[in-house]
C-alpha cells in the first residue's frame, strides 16, 4: 500500500475481550511504520469502526484508478464480493470531495438484485448457481 500512496492514516475504535470499554489504535502507515508505536489505548472517540485515509496517490496507480466514487465502489465490491455476501459484512463508506457513498447499499440495491439463479448439471450432480445478467 505504501507503494501506491505516500502514506495511509488509520484510526480504529474496537473492542477486545477482557477490556474495560473500547480501545483506539491510531497510526500512520508509511515507510517508517513501526507496529510497536501503534499500540491500542482507551478510545478517545465514541462509536466502533475504522477510518482509513489514503494520502498522496502516486503514479502509475493514480492515472489507472477509476475517477468516480461510483466506479471505485463497484471495484471494491468486485474485489471483496465474498465479504459483501456475508451477513456480518462491515459497513463500507467512501468519502470523496464531499460525496458520501454507502457501498453496502449500492451492493444491495444495484448489484445483488441483478443475480439470477440457474440450474445446471455437472458430472451427474444437479446444482444451482447465482449468475449475473
Choose one of 47, 65, 83: the last residue of a domain.
Answer: 65
Choose one of 41, 65, 89: the last residue of a domain.
Answer: 65
- Tens digits of pLDDT across the chain (133 residues): 468 999 999 999 999 998 888 999 999 999 899 999 899 999 988 889 999 999 999 999 999 988 889 999 999 999 998 999 888 999 999 998 888 999 999 998 876 655 555 555 666 665 555 554 4
Query: Are 6 and 18 found together in one domain?
Result: yes
Find out whether 91 and 102 touch, Cβ atoms under 8 Å.
Answer: yes
Cell numbers found for residue 113: 438484485
Expressed as residue numbers, the domain containing 48 is 1-65
Query: Are 52 and 109 found together in one domain?
Result: no
Q: What is the pLDDT of residue 112?
A: 62
Domain membership flag for residue 95 = yes
Domain membership flag for residue 1 = yes
- Contact residues for 129 (Cβ-Cβ < 8 A; gap 6+): 117, 118, 120
The domain tally of the chain equals 2
Domain membership flag for residue 132 = no
Domain membership flag for residue 19 = yes
Cβ-based burial of 84 (10 A; exposed 0-12, middle 13-18, buried ≥19): buried
Choose one of 48, 65, 82: the last residue of a domain.
Answer: 65
- What percent of the chain stands above pLDDT 90? 53
Query: Are 1 and 48 found together in one domain?
Result: yes
Average pLDDT, the chain: 85
The pLDDT tens digits for 68-98 are 899 999 999 999 989 998 889 999 999 988 8
Amino acid at each position: 500500500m505504501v507503494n501506491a500512496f505516500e502514506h495511509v492514516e488509520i484510526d480504529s475504535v474496537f473492542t477486545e475481550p477482557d477490556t474495560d470499554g473500547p480501545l483506539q489504535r491510531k497510526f500512520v502507515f508509511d515507510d517508517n511504520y513501526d507496529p510497536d508505536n501503534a499500540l491500542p489505548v482507551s478510545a478517545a472517540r465514541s462509536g466502533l469502526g475504522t477510518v482509513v485515509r489514503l494520502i498522496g496517490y502516486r503514479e502509475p496507480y493514480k492515472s489507472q484508478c477509476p475517477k468516480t466514487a461510483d466506479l471505485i465502489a463497484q471495484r471494491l465490491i468486485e474485489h471483496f464480493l465474498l465479504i459483501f455476501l456475508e451477513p456480518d459484512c462491515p459497513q463500507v463508506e467512501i468519502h470523496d470531495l464531499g460525496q458520501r457513498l454507502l457501498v453496502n447499499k449500492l451492493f444491495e440495491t444495484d448489484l445483488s438484485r441483478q443475480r439470477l439463479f440457474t440450474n445446471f448439471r455437472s458430472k451427474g450432480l444437479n446444482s444451482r448457481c447465482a449468475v449475473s445478467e
